[in-house]
Chain A
Amino acid sequence: MFLEVQHIVKSFGAEKVVKDLSFSLQAKQTLSILGKSGCGKTTMLKTIGGLISPDSGKILLNGVDITETKPEKRNIVYLYQEDLLFPHLNAFENIAFGLRIKKIPEGLIKEKVQHMLHSLELEGQADKMPTQLSGGQRQRVSFGRAISTNPSLLLLDEPFGSLDTGTRQRMQELFKKLTEEFDITSLFVTHDLKEAVLMGNQIGFMQDGVLKVYEDKKDFIQDPQTGVQSEIEFWGGLK
């Protein structure tokens, strides 16, 4: 397995936020995780990204134990719900940010960023500052900035949460396209049921710090806890 998370526990004071978290993920796959606010999703992602230290447990990436590795050495990029574009840099420089940090030659940076702008359907927007971009464009630049560094694992924390329905749908399609084009392995956290089903090759459900990963989508749909059945009943009742 590419990513193996073994018995991770994390508490803040007396409150146990993540309880015995264990799951694995194959390379080039997306595990979407559904969960309500406050169920421990963000803490789980930040722990995997190295931004929070776990109380116990292990994280293996490509067979290497990275539990104690600093976030900057993990090659795992964490994407927030907010696009967090650097306000002093234009779209091109935002995408090039990670590449410049890694001291990639200038020519290669230009080539990679131009290719990324094309993949993100952002041609002609390179010189625009973040304030001149729409919500969807900003989120795309944020994606580009994360993907351009070729991360081993991408952690997405409700990345489309702040977008309107139409933009959200377009971004979901774009994300699917990008994961195939750039062979991305990712954990996609969302509280949107439809998005969870659409985005993941595998689906998990998190509640009160406990994550349950389903064998396939059928198991997920049939589990009454996930809320899929009640959704089906609701929409069926409208007929």
Chain B
Amino acid sequence: MRINWKPFVLSLAVLLILFPFVYLVFLSLASEWRFPDVLPSYIGFKNWVTVFGSETGLLQSFFSSLLISLSVAIFSTTSGFLISKAVFYHPKKRTLTLLAYFPYILAPVVFAACLSFFFLKMGLFGNMTGVVVAQFIIAFPYALLFFSSFWNEKVKSYEDLVATLGGNKWQTYTKVLLPLAKGLLLICFFQTFLISWFEYGLTSIIGIGKVQTLTIKVFLFIKETNYYYGALSCCLLIFPPVVLLYFNKRYVFKKLV
């Protein structure tokens, strides 16, 4: 009899994918787990209670990160959509598109070092606005390049058609362009949110330790070798992207396929 290995291989693959996440949750519930103990001496919600009691400022970092990432995602998606249209109709479209790749030529830390002088002059160093602006500089070109595939001759024809049917610019956007681009807008929002959410190099330099996003906090805990808080902050770090991924899968990808 021939054994069908497929279910076993699939199960193993699922286990391997899920293991780091399960282990992360387990680690966040543990404390005082020392070699050669097989299990930690404490398993419970002590770490979580401490965190939610804001003793370590982790919850504050979570909300700061959420605010920063939502701002970056909203601004970059909106401006990326609008400006990519202007770029598409511009006679120097190719040059402008090429320029959009510029922030990705340099490593984020080097890029931040280049920008730091200007941020210092504008009073954007070490505050949340500065971090939002810095991350926007990274996320906006992404959105611009992302939407460049949306604009084409057919969309131009739709715009012209609405105009001849008596529609103004606002009506063209609200009644045709935005409904047409709805799926792409949601995906771009998701992607730019993730770019901002996991950003470290630029945030650490522009934020100079005063703006502590969750990603910065995770690195701090890891540096301090506080694995339990590190695991806990990783859980918090993963939670919003998982929620977004769920909504994307349920409401966006299904419609696009």
Binding site for B on A (CB under 8 A): 46, 49-51, 70-72, 74-78, 80, 82, 84, 86-88, 97-98, 100-102, 145-146, 149, 155
Contact = CB atoms under 8 A, between A and B. Distances in A.
A97 B175 CA distance: 9
A7 B179 CA distance: 41
Contact of B165 (A46, A51, A80, A145): A145
Interface string B150-192: 0000100110111111111001000110011010000000000
Given A87-B180, A88-B179, A97-B175, A82 B166 contact: no
B190 to A, nearest CB: 21
Given A76-B164, A88-B182, 15 more contacts: A49-B160, A51-B160, A51-B164, A71-B160, A71-B163, A72-B163, A78-B161, A82-B157, A84-B154, A86-B176, A86-B179, A88-B179, A101-B166, A101-B171, A149-B166
Interface of B: 154, 157-158, 160-168, 171, 175-176, 179-180, 182
A61 B83 CA distance: 36
Considering residues A46, A77, A155, which has the most beta carbons from chain B within 10 angstroms of its beta carbon?
A77
Q: Please report whether the interface of chain B is mostly helix, strand, loop or mixed according to DSSP.
A: helix
A84 B158 contact: yes
Contacts of A71: 160, 163-164
Contacts of A145: 165
A100 B168 CA distance: 12
Nearest to A86: B176
Nearest to A76: B164
A103 to B, nearest CB: 10
A77 B157 contact: no
A78 B164 contact: yes
Contacts of A149: 165-166
Contacts of A77: 164-165
Contacts of B180: 86-88
Contact of B166 (A46, A75, A80, A155): A75
A222 to B, nearest CB: 36
